């Protein structure tokens, strides 16, 4: 037997041992690259859903503030506002000529303004799904967002937050 040379049977045995080992190593190398990519894609999808819910809550709170000059202290009072309240909307009736501003047209009597009450739920918000689902953080097994409101006093004046 010469040094450095293996018999044909041993070569075949080593081939069938190392070939699957090479495939397993290649698979783990692929997964080590692909796993962070998949994680980031899932993270972005989850973040987008959370951000969408927070933006919805923000819009509802701004509508509440436009009517009551303050934010809703909790979800229950915010849902009552969305479901059963209304807010004033000013409409301009008439046509404003190109040569005038809207205020000038109102002063001349070409345009009149009318204030109507509009249902919050039916007008501003295209509510899809269950209204109560907005309070829950996506992918959190029904954990709720924390919402609080209060007043900040600065230099003798107070601001609702």
Domain assignment present for 42:
yes
> What is the chain's mean pLDDT, rounded?
83
Instruction: Place 126 in a pLDDT band, splitting at 50, 70 and 90.
Output: low
pLDDT tens sequence across 11-51:
888 888 899 999 999 999 999 999 999 999 999 999 999 99
Domain assignment present for 130:
yes
Query: Tokens in use for 137?
Result: 């953080």
Predicted local confidence at residue 1, as pLDDT: 44
Q: What is the mean pLDDT of residues 69-91?
A: 86
Instruction: Place 114 in a pLDDT band, splitting at 50, 70 and 90.
Output: confident
Domain assignment present for 2:
no
What DSSP line would sit under 25-89, residue for residue?
Answer: HHHHHHHHHHHHHHHHHHHHHHHHHHHHHHHHHHHHHHHHHHHHSS--SSHHHHHHHHHH-EEEE
> CA-CA distance, 126 to 60, in Å (whole number)?
11
Residue 161 has pLDDT above 70, yes or no: no
Tokens 């990519």 map to which residue?
Answer: 37
Domain assignment present for 3:
no
Q: Which residues contact 78 (CB under 8 A, 6 or more apart)?
A: 57, 60, 61, 64, 72, 147
Count of structural domains, the chain: 1
Domain assignment present for 102:
yes
Q: How far is CA 11 from CA 5, 7, 14, 28, 142, in A?
A: 9, 6, 5, 25, 59
Domain assignment present for 74:
yes
Domain assignment present for 151:
yes
Domain assignment present for 138:
yes
Range of the domain at 143: 8-160
């Amino acid at each position: 037997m010469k040094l450095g040379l293996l018999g044909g049977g041993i070569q075949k045995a080593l081939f069938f041992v190392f070939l699957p080992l090479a495939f397993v190593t290649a698979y783990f190398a692929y997964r080590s690259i692909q796993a962070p990519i998949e994680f980031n894609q899932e993270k972005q999808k989850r973040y987008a859903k959370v951000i969408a819910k927070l933006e919805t809550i923000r819009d509802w709170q701004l509508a509440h503030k436009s009517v009551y000059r303050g934010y809703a202290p909790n979800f229950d009072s915010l849902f009552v506002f969305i479901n059963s309240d209304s807010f004033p909307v000013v409409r301009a009736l008439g046509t404003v000529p190109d040569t005038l501003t809207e205020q000038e047209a109102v002063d001349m009597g070409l345009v009149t303004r009318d204030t109507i009450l509009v249902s919050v739920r039916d007008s501003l918000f295209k509510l899809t799904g269950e209204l109560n689902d907005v309070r829950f953080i996506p992918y959190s097994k029904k954990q709720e967002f924390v919402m609080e409101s209060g007043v900040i006093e600065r230099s003798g004046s107070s601001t609702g937050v």
